[in-house]
Structure 1
Amino acid sequence: MRILDKYILKRYLGSFLFTLFILIPIAIAIDVSEKIDKFLRHTNLSVGEIIEDYYVNFIIYYANTFMPLALFISVIFFTSKLANNTEIIAINSASISFTRFLKPYFIGATIVTVYALYMNHYVVPNSNETLTKFDKKYFATHNNVKENYVKEFSMRLGKGRYIYIQNFGIRTNRGYDFSYEEYDGLKMKYRLTANEITWSKRDSTFKLSSYSKRRIFNDRDSIETGRKFDTIFDFSPRDLLYVDYLSKEMTSAELKSFIEKSKLRGVKNLNAYYVELYKRTTLPISSYIMTLLAVCLSFRKKRGGMGINMAVGIGLMFIYVFFMKVAEVLGAVAGSNTMLLIWMPNFVFGSLAFYLYLKSKK
């Protein structure tokens, strides 16, 4: 690696981290001002718990959220500075092509992308889970009936196997009027009913009260009744809920497994979960697009100086973020092509970046 490559790469990563470290304290300051009264309501909540359980995970989440914005602004900032200091003119005088000039930028973009992919797929979901638990315990923003109570729920567990629950409390892990049925084609061969069903998290078993088992043979039926019966089913109370924020709490492996199980269980619209899965890859990949776009916008010295580059860059960045949010909303709609919509902002801005690259190369 040449001295020039090391110099640009150092400036690339340094400017990116500096911009990110500026944005994160601003986000923390705004969040503290909004939540300070909620923190003070809980006298048993220590400063250490707030920092460890809330703000550490808050930083992890928002660092990944702000990554494209921080990267774009930082590349425009230090590339404009190189242009204003006539350093890029010196680089061109040394017969270094524009494509070769981009090499250290893309090395830096690769480092950021690999790190962001790891964070998005494995670390951020765990942070989101901790944030949600803290939120439920102290802020109660998710503490509503829809997310704590399931009514008239049916689900397919596998081929020919179905369950039905009249109502189930997610917080209490208890439900009523439960039935489990097995079919051979259209013919029922087994049915289990219970007045009450309780989930034991400790050993992952279900405890049935006032149960009745019915086995159906060709020439007769077998019926068994009793007061208590413990059994295992291949679902848990969490599988009864289909709310968007749950997808943010699963690692990508868990999310893929959840989607496959849900498809087998006959859940019709899983697009909100696909949106979260695809977004974890598209956002880090945008590092390459944002880098190329920022360099093409700022490598020439302009009369307006760095200010005009920053204004154009921030405008494009907000258009990109807006485009992504629209794509996420449309992608979650039943029947939409989620993958196409989630990748669309990258396709559009990638095409723009490539066009500017060809233009700048000349």
Structure 2
Amino acid sequence: MRILDRYIVREFLGVFVFSLAIFIALSAIVDLFDRLSRFFDVSGMVVIQYYMNRLPWFGFQVLPVAVLLAALFSLGKMARYNELLAMKMGRLNSFRIVVPLLVLGLVVSFAALILGESIIPRMNERALNAYRVKVQKVAPFQRTKDNDIWYRAKGNRFLHISLLDTTSGNIRGLTLFELSPDFALLRRIDAREARWQNGQWLLQDGEISWTGPDGTYRVNSFTNFTLYLDEKPIDLAQVMRESEEMSSGELREYIEKLAKTGANSVRYQVDLAAKGSTAFSSLVMALIGIAFALRTGKRGVMTWTGACVVVAICYSILNSFSISLGRGGVLSPVVAAWLPNALFTAAGLGSVLRVKS
């Protein structure tokens, strides 16, 4: 790495680390004030544990803004002291000058992607579970859908469950429909109660109905009946989890599970696509910051800071709007997630290339 590149990297990292620390602290303070009334009834250790697990998520959210300001202020400082002019007089064009910042933006994006697939989901899950159980006093099973459940099981079977207690595995009101490949009803089982015991479902007080080979409709009652299903109580409950608590692989499996049950998974498909686009928004913000910084001249970065903040806000608004369109089915999940990045990358890159050497 050339001496000039090391100098640019050092200037960028100084502003970046400072900005990141400030924004993480501000995010934690805002979140604390938002939840303050709910923290009165819990110990201070619970609050500390919640925020220790939540801080990486706050950092993930503010990374793009920290990169934006780092690119703007580091290059802006060089412009103020005529360092950019000296570089250009040394036969370096504008694009070559900013290459180290683009590489840093890319490195931050990959780091965000890796952390977003490993550490952050696990810590988010611990933080949110602790908050729900210890602060909101919500029992774990109440996070699941426990009534009026329709579930498509293996073997072309459909289940309707009136009430499910996921802590005990007991079902009140179970109906199972067994269908042929062409969706003709082969058998129906109704039970007043079902219990998960020793890896199988034990049905009580019900009846089995089917149509015999001669076309007659037959019904047999039972007191106890063993039903063999691969699905466990927790599978039937369709545990409700936030996208931020899952990695891309877990979210993909969750989407497949929802699809099998016939539930609408569009929201999670958009969130899955957005995991990658959110991570690479740091690179987009680096481009935007560079584009503004190269135009600051000796007037100082403060001249362009306001405009840069407005652009960042516009990006956030467009991103939220695009995600909403995706969840509403207007845009495909991939387009909804990546459209803001594509538009702002094109604008930022075009602006950098138009700067005179």
TM-score normalised by length of structure 1: 0.85
The corresponding residue for 1:129 is 125
Aligned ranges 1:92-131 → 2 under 5 Å: 92-131=88-127
Post-superposition Cα deviations, 1:258-317, rounded to whole Å, max 9, x if no partner, equal: 2123223333x3111012111110011122221122111112443542112211111111
The offset of 1:218, in angstroms, is: 3.5
Indicate the SS of the match to 1:234.
Answer: coil
DSSP-derived class of the 1:248 partner: helix
Aligned to 1:292: 287
Structure 2 residues without counterparts, runs of 5 or longer:
none
The gaps in structure 1 that reach 5 residues or longer are none
Question: Which residue does 2:172 correspond to in 1?
Answer: 176
Task: Verify the 8 A CA contact 2:161 2:172 in the aligned structure 1.
Answer: yes
* 8 Å CA contact 1:148, 1:169 repeated in 2: no
For 1:66, what is the secondary structure of its paired residue? helix
| Closer/same/farther in 2, CA of residues 335 and 145 from structure 1, 3 Å limit | farther
Distance 1:356 1:129 in 2: 41
Q: Which moved more, 1:280-289 or 1:217-226?
A: 217-226
Maintained 8 Å contact 2:173/2:190: yes
Superposed, 1:251-330 pairs within 5 Å as 251-267=247-263, 269-302=264-297, 304-330=299-325
Range 288-297 or range 233-242, more displaced? 233-242
Given the superposition, is the C-alpha separation of residues 326 and 169 from structure 1 closer, same or farther in structure 2, using an over 3 Å criterion?
farther
> What amino acid is aligned across from residue 355 of structure 2 in structure 1?
S
Contact 1:109–1:288 (CA under 8 A) maintained in structure 2: yes
Say whether 1:12 aligns with 2:9: no
* 1:189 partnered with 2:180: no
Aligned CA distance change for structure 1 residues 265 and 158 (closer, same or farther; 3 Å): farther
In structure 1, distance between residues paired with 2:65 and 2:199: 44
The alpha carbon displacement at 1:123 in A equals 2.4
CA distance in 2, matches of 1:7, 1:173: 63
Distance 1:79 1:192 in 2: 71
| 2:74 maps to 1:78 | yes
Q: How does 1:31-42 map to 2 (within 5 A)?
A: 31-42=31-42
Residue 349 of structure 1 corresponds to 344
Could you give the per-residue CA deviations for residues 127-164 of structure 1, whole angstroms, max 9, x where no partner exists? 22222212212332978999555443222234622111
Gap change, CA 1:154 and 1:351, over 3 Å in 2? same
TM-score, normalized by length of structure 2?
Answer: 0.87
The answer for the alignment partner of 2:224 in structure 1 is 227
Worse-superposed segment, 98-107 or 272-281: 98-107
**Percent of matched pairs sharing the same residue:** 21
Q: Identify which range, 103-112 or 143-152, moves more after superposition.
A: 143-152
Residue 55 (structure 1) shift: 0.6
Deviates more, 1:256-265 or 1:211-220: 211-220
Aligned residue number for residue 64 of structure 1: 60
Distance 1:336 1:158 in 2: 32
The answer on whether the counterparts of 1:83 and 1:89 sit within 8 Å (CA) in structure 2 is: yes
The 3-state SS of whatever aligns with 2:174 is strand
Partner of 1:197, secondary structure, is: strand
Return the alpha-carbon distance in structure 2 between the equivalents of residues 207 and 13 of structure 1. Answer: 62
Structure-1 separation of matches of 2:144 and 2:66: 38
Aligned residue runs from structure 1 range 214-253, under 5 A: 218=213, 223=220, 225-227=222-224, 229=226, 231-234=228-231, 236-237=233-234, 240-241=237-238, 245-253=241-249
1:113 partner letter:
S
* RMSD across aligned positions (CA): 3.0
Which digits, 9 at most, give the CA deviation of each residue in 1:36-83, with x for residues without a partner? 4433313xx342x4323x011220111111111111112111111111
- The Cα offsets for residues 204-232 of structure 1, whole Å up to 9 and x where unpaired, read as 65454435556766469795734364744
- Judge conservation of contact 2:158–2:177 (CA < 8 Å) in 1: yes
